[in-house]
Copies of this chain bind each other. A is one copy, B any other.
Amino acid sequence: MKNIALIGYGVVGHGVADLLSKNADIIAKRAGDQIRLKHILTARPRADDPRQELLTQNADDIFGDCGVSVVVECINDLDAAYRYCRRSLSAGKHYVTSNKNLIATYGVELTELAARNSVALMFEASVAAGIPVLRPLCKCLSSNRVTGVMGIVNGTTNYILTQMKREGRAFDDALRDAQRLGYAETDPSADVLGFDACRKLAILLSIAFDRYVRYKEIPAEGITAVTSADITLAERLGYSMKLIAMGRLTPSDRIYARVSPLLIPHDHLLASVDDVFNAVAVSADTAGDVLFYGRGAGAEPSASSIVGDVIDIVTSGRYNDPVWREDYRPLLPADENVGPLFVRASLPEREKLLQLFPEGIAAAEGENLGFITTPGLERKLREDIQAAGIETGAIWRVFSRAEDDA
Give the residue of B29, B130, B290 whose beta carbon is less than 8 angstroms from that of A293: B290
Q: Tell me, rounded to whole Å, the shortest Cβ–Cβ distance linking A276 to chain B.
A: 10
Q: Indicate whether A175 reaches chain B with its CB closer than 8 angstroms.
A: no
A315 CA to B3 CA in the complex, in Å?
26
> Is the CB–CB distance between A294 and B304 below 8 Å?
no
Residues of chain B contacted by A23 (CB below 8 angstroms) = 143-145, 285-286
Q: Indicate whether A191 reaches chain B with its CB closer than 8 angstroms.
A: no
A31 CA to B321 CA in the complex, in Å?
10
Q: Mark A108-137, 1 if CB is under 8 A from B, else 0.
A: 000000000000000010000011100110
A295 CA to B30 CA in the complex, in Å?
29
| Chain A stretch 9-31: residues in CB contact (< 8 A) with chain B | 19, 22-23, 26-27, 29-31
Residues of chain B contacted by A269 (CB below 8 angstroms) = 269, 272-273, 293
Residues of chain B contacted by A26 (CB below 8 angstroms) = 142-145, 210
With A136-B136, A272-B272, A315-B320 as known contacts, state yes or no: A286 contacts B143, CB within 8 Å.
Answer: no
| Chain A stretch 37-94: residues in CB contact (< 8 A) with chain B | none
Q: Mark A228-269, 1 if CB is under 8 A from B, else 0.
A: 000000000000000000000000000000000000000101
With A124-B140, A143-B26 as known contacts, state yes or no: A301 contacts B318, CB within 8 Å.
Answer: no
> Is the CB–CB distance between B140 and A135 below 8 Å?
yes
| Chain A stretch 283-327: residues in CB contact (< 8 A) with chain B | 284-295, 300-301, 303-305, 307-308, 310-312, 315-318, 320, 322
Q: Mark A162-176, 1 if CB is under 8 A from B, else 0.
A: 000000000000000
> Is the CB–CB distance between A312 and B141 below 8 Å?
no
A30 CA to B291 CA in the complex, in Å?
22
Residues of chain B contacted by A318 (CB below 8 angstroms) = 315-318
> Is the CB–CB distance between B286 and A294 below 8 Å?
no
> Is the CB–CB distance between A304 and B141 below 8 Å?
yes
Q: Tell me, rounded to whole Å, the shortest Cβ–Cβ distance linking A251 to chain B.
A: 16
Residues of chain B contacted by A358 (CB below 8 angstroms) = none
Residues of chain B contacted by A273 (CB below 8 angstroms) = 269
| Chain A stretch 367-403: residues in CB contact (< 8 A) with chain B | none
> Is the CB–CB distance between B284 and A304 below 8 Å?
yes
A288 CA to B297 CA in the complex, in Å?
11
With A287-B294, A289-B294, A295-B289 as known contacts, state yes or no: A304 contacts B143, CB within 8 Å.
Answer: yes
A307 CA to B284 CA in the complex, in Å?
14
A290 CA to B301 CA in the complex, in Å?
10
A140 CA to B311 CA in the complex, in Å?
9
Residues of chain B contacted by A286 (CB below 8 angstroms) = 19, 22-23, 130, 300-301, 303-304
A-B interface, 6 closest residue pairs, ranked by CB to CB distance from nearest: A317-B318, A317-B317, A132-B140, A143-B307, A130-B287, A132-B136
Give the interface of A toward B (CB within 8 A).
19, 22-23, 26-27, 29-32, 124, 130-132, 135-136, 139-145, 210, 267, 269, 272-273, 284-295, 300-301, 303-305, 307-308, 310-312, 315-318, 320, 322
- A sample of 17 more A-B contacts (CB under 8 A), given A27-B142, A288-B294, A292-B292, is A19-B286, A23-B286, A30-B143, A130-B288, A130-B290, A132-B290, A135-B135, A139-B139, A143-B303, A143-B304, A286-B304, A287-B304, A288-B295, A291-B291, A293-B293, A315-B318, A316-B318
Mind listing 28 A-B residue pairs with CB under 8 Å? A23-B286, A26-B143, A30-B322, A124-B140, A130-B284, A130-B288, A132-B139, A132-B140, A132-B290, A135-B140, A136-B136, A139-B311, A142-B308, A143-B311, A269-B269, A269-B272, A272-B272, A286-B301, A286-B303, A289-B295, A290-B293, A291-B291, A291-B292, A291-B294, A292-B292, A292-B293, A293-B293, A316-B318
